Chain A
Amino acid sequence: MLRRIQVLLLALLFVVPAWAAIEEVDFNDAQQLVRYKALIAELRCPMCLNANLAGSDAPIAADLRAEIHKQILAGKSDEEILQFLTERYGEFILYKPPLHIATSILWFTPPLLLLLGFFVLRRMLAGSRLQTAESDPLSRQEQEQLQQLLQKDQQG
Chain B
Amino acid sequence: MSNRAKLFIPAIFFVTMLGLLLYGLFHDPSKVPSALISRSMPVFTRPNLFDDKAAVSNEQLKGGIFLVNVWATWCPPCHAEHPYLLEISEREKGVTFVGVNYKDDAQAARDFLQERGNPFKISFSDPAGTLGIELGVAGAPETFLLDATGTIRYKYVGAIDNRVWEEKFVPLLAQLR
Segment with Cβ contacts to B, from A18-26, A35-43, A55-63, A137-145: A55-63
Note all chain A residues with C-beta closer than 8 A to B133: 63-64, 67, 88
Note all chain B residues with C-beta closer than 8 A to A88: 35-36, 133-136
A34 to B28, CA, bound (A): 35
Structural contact, B139 and A58, CB atoms closer than 8 A: yes
Structural contact, A49 and B29, CB atoms closer than 8 A: yes
Within 8 A of A (CB), among B5-56: 29-30, 32-36
A90 within 8 A of B: yes
Structural contact, B139 and A59, CB atoms closer than 8 A: yes
A136 within 8 A of B: no
> A residues near B, CB below 8 A?
46-47, 49, 58-60, 63-64, 67, 86-92
Please, could you name 23 A-B residue pairs with CB atoms under 8 Å apart, sorted by A?
A46-B32, A47-B139, A49-B29, A49-B30, A58-B138, A58-B139, A59-B103, A59-B129, A59-B139, A60-B129, A60-B132, A60-B139, A63-B129, A63-B132, A64-B133, A67-B133, A86-B35, A87-B35, A88-B134, A88-B135, A89-B136, A90-B34, A92-B32
